[in-house]
Structure 1
Amino acid sequence: MTPRLDLNFVRSQFPAFDEASLQGQAFFDNAGGSYACSQVINHLHRYYKETKLQPYHLHPASQKAGAQMDLAHQRLADYLNVTSEEVHLGPSTSQNTYVLANAFVNMLQVGDEIIVTNQDHEANSGVWRRLGLRGITIKEWQVDPATGQLDIDQLDVLFTSKTKLLVFPHCSNIIAHINPVAEICKKAKQAGVHTLVDGVSYVGHEMPDIDALGADIYLFSLYKVFGPHLGVMVIRSGIASILGNQSHYFNEAYKHKWFVPAGPDHAQVAASKGVIDYFEALHDHHYEYTDSTQEKAERVRSLIHAAETPLLSKVLSFVDHHPNATLLGPSSPSTRAAVIALVPKHQSPQELAQSLTEQGIICGAGHFYSVRLLEAMGIDPASGVLRLSFVHYTSEAEVDQLLTALECSL
């Protein structure tokens, strides 16, 4: 049985909730970046204070710095159910995708096909579309204009013998519908197609078992998972060997450098293990001890899901039934993440966001780099949508504050 989330314990792990300047402000812009947990902040502070020097050299402080970076890779790998060598930490998901697109050029020939979607954040679409300038055929897996969702059966038509890569999101940062990743990856594998999954909008709500998903490459941003501003690339060993080293030739022996040609941010890499430290603290506070990392991860997933679902249901019900707002994406919390995008009927999203801000609601308005999706759904990207997003540290009182503000503003 999943225990009830101890919200007081959770919020005690995030210094932002003790910050005087943020008191009374309800944070509903987590899809743009979450608060950092104290474990990450403490690791970052300790690294800058004790080991801010070139890692992996002979001095003990340098050796300590390198060991902290190695441990971060291993801790993330264990939690994601992959090997340490398959975890790569780059400056951002956008930059990581750019490196990957250039790496794929080396294995593609003129006429080969890449399938992208118009549901994606542009970072997981634009770089692949540009390969069309190099003779690669770009095909688009299109959303249903009414729902913004993808139909997996369309892949049967899109896949051909020339299709080499399928690029798609775990969930959209606008409609938030959770795509059936394992099913899609299985279908792609049967067709001999590699898969790249953008998990940026999903992982703040659930750190997945990537081995179970079956994706060849899985990307997400740590700063949306309570961590430092880094992008995580999980590149399974089979596809990594095909893509090859993208860094300096003399780094061939160092797998963690293969897809980070600019070099790692040492302090942030070391601090990233604080994300897993937080999840383990969350586990140990709510559950009996187990030495199985995968059991801990599954328990934490269940704990977070159980905490977010009733709050998401409450917000969805309000927006879906309000006469002055149009909800984008499914109205059921069982098929979407805790990201709510809406279009107000009598004002612009920016005007609504300004009104909410004046009532202590931290939120955003715009296209959120999903221009193609909004265009497909008949929404002007220039005005975009109002987006509200929360995670497990959000309280019911903050949701009530949001709904009161919406009622006053719509």
Structure 2
Amino acid sequence: MTTPLDLAFVRARFPAFAEPSLQGQAFFENAGGSYACAPVIARLDEYYRRLKLQPYYPTAASTEAGEWMDASYTRLAEYLGVPGDWLHLGPSTSQNSYVLAQAFGQWLQAGDEIVVTNQDHEANSGAWRRLATRGVRVREWQVEPDSGALHPEALWPLVNERTRLVAFTQCSNIVGAINPVAAITARLRAAGVLSVVDGVSYAPHGFPDLAALGADIYLFSLYKTFGPHLGLMALSPTLVQRLPNEGHFFNEGVLRKRLLPAGPDHAQIAAARGIAEYFDALDAHHHPGAAPAGRAGRVRQLLRGTELALLPPLLDYLAQRKDIRLIGPANAGERAATVSFLPLRQEPGAVVRALAARGVMAASGHFYALRLLQAMGLDPARGVVRLSFVHYTSAEDVQLLLRALDAVLGAD
């Protein structure tokens, strides 16, 4: 039985819900960035007031600053199901992906092959495609045009003895369908092929269990999982050592600096521990006395279970309208709470502006998935309307959205 979420408890831990300027509005653009939780904001505030200096020196404040940073890696790793030395925190997922691709570009040989998709955010596609200039053959795993779905059976004919890496997304930031990552990565590993999974659009909806997913490299953004503006990249120390050093030459022996050309953002890394502290509080409130060992799984269930209860009214409403094209599955169980549609009689941008006037914060555009829209026969310049929410969204927010959609879209 799914534990119901105590929404009042949750919202009390997100200062945005007490912000006067945000009152009376429903936030449906979480795919672009979530609200930050209170523990993250508190740690960032304290770090800037008390510990904003170079960390890891022997002075008391400097030592404590370094301890705060170390604790973030340790605590986040507990929820992700991997050792702390797998985690690398950089400015963004886009930059992490670019640096990673540059490292692979030196490691791969001319004639080696990689596979990318046309469903991904450009961060996990464009950086890899550029390796074609170095003699790497880039093959494209293409979506089904009507649905925008990636079908695994379309991948396997692209994989051969020359394939070294497959980069794909766990969940499209437009289609919303959840791809079967574990099954794909297991088959790739058996074939000796590395997997690079972009989890940015899935992570807020069920903080990932990286051990279960089995990706060799997994990336997502902490600012979309209630934290500071950082990108997290997880990969084993063994794989890091195989890749060329992208950092300063004198830091080559420091694994955490090999894929971080610039210095780390000390304050934001130190504050990232607040995500884990929020999850701790969430679990303790909903499962008092439960064993810590199952905490990560229980939190995932709270995040995902809450959204599954809220998705059907929105999907049902959009599916029955004949004046819009719903992008992605109409079944809540097959997707994350990122729902896009194309209005057939209005411009997406105009719909979003009209929703904003009615207290609904949404967005329109191609959301850096321009290749996906082209593959589906949609105009990237027009884009689509995107509605995205997470566990702190209320049933009342959804009803406000549906009333606003009725008013903006008009009679069907």
**Bin for the TM-score computed over the shorter chain:** over 0.9
Structure 2 equivalent of residue 312 of structure 1:
311
The offset of 1:111, in angstroms, is 0.7
AA of the residue aligned to 2:321: H
Q: Does 1:343 pair with 2:345?
A: no
Structure 1 equivalent of residue 390 of structure 2:
391
For the residue of structure 2 that corresponds to 1:201, the secondary structure is coil
AA of the residue aligned to 2:295: K
Identify which range, 232-241 or 183-192, moves more after superposition: 232-241
AA of the residue aligned to 2:399: D
**CA distances 1:46-71 after superposition (whole Å, capped 9, x unpaired):** 10011000000111100000000000
For the residue of structure 2 that corresponds to 1:168, the secondary structure is strand
Q: Is the 8 A contact 2:74 2:84 kept in 1?
A: yes
Q: Is the 8 A contact 2:111 2:137 kept in 1?
A: yes
For the residue of structure 2 that corresponds to 1:327, the secondary structure is strand
1:125-274 correspondence runs (5 A): 125-274=125-274
AA of the residue aligned to 1:344: P
AA of the residue aligned to 1:334: G
Q: Is the 8 A contact 2:91 2:229 kept in 1?
A: yes
d(CA) in 1 for partners of 2:123 and 2:69?
26
1:358-373 correspondence runs (5 A): 358-373=357-372
d(CA) in 2 for partners of 1:115 and 1:63?
44
Q: Which runs of 5+ in 2 are unaligned?
A: none
1:396-407 correspondence runs (5 A): 396-407=395-406
The offset of 1:83, in angstroms, is 1.1
The offset of 1:107, in angstroms, is 1.5
For the residue of structure 2 that corresponds to 1:204, the secondary structure is helix
The offset of 1:141, in angstroms, is 0.1
The offset of 1:244, in angstroms, is 4.1
1:284-363 correspondence runs (5 A): 284-293=284-293, 295-363=294-362
Structure 1 equivalent of residue 21 of structure 2:
21
The offset of 1:133, in angstroms, is 0.8
Identify which range, 298-307 or 223-232, moves more after superposition: 298-307
d(CA) in 1 for partners of 2:27 and 2:197?
27
The offset of 1:242, in angstroms, is 1.1
d(CA) in 2 for partners of 1:98 and 1:222?
17
For the residue of structure 1 that corresponds to 2:107, the secondary structure is coil
Identify which range, 110-119 or 316-325, moves more after superposition: 316-325
Give the structure-2-normalised TM-score: 0.98
AA of the residue aligned to 1:233: M
Q: Is the 8 A contact 2:237 2:255 kept in 1?
A: no
Structure 2 equivalent of residue 43 of structure 1:
43
d(CA) in 2 for partners of 1:377 and 1:3?
38
AA of the residue aligned to 1:217: I
The offset of 1:239, in angstroms, is 1.8
Q: Does 1:123 pair with 2:140?
A: no
Structure 2 equivalent of residue 56 of structure 1:
56
**CA distances 1:275-317 after superposition (whole Å, capped 9, x unpaired):** 0100111000000334534x10100111122211121111000
AA of the residue aligned to 1:372: R
d(CA) in 2 for partners of 1:286 and 1:5?
7
For the residue of structure 1 that corresponds to 2:218, the secondary structure is strand
Structure 2 equivalent of residue 377 of structure 1:
376
CA RMSD of the aligned region, Å? 0.9
Against the structure 1 CA distance between its residues 32 and 128, is the aligned structure 2 distance closer, same or farther, given a 3 Å change threshold? same
Q: Is the 8 A contact 2:240 2:255 kept in 1?
A: no
The offset of 1:258, in angstroms, is 1.7
d(CA) in 1 for partners of 2:13 and 2:97?
31
Identity %: 53
Q: Is the 8 A contact 2:241 2:255 kept in 1?
A: no
AA of the residue aligned to 2:227: G
d(CA) in 2 for partners of 1:240 and 1:320?
45
**CA distances 1:76-102 after superposition (whole Å, capped 9, x unpaired):** 111111111110000000000010001
AA of the residue aligned to 1:259: L
Q: Is the 8 A contact 2:107 2:244 kept in 1?
A: no
AA of the residue aligned to 1:192: G
AA of the residue aligned to 1:221: S
d(CA) in 2 for partners of 1:306 and 1:150?
24
AA of the residue aligned to 1:197: V
d(CA) in 2 for partners of 1:253 and 1:134?
27
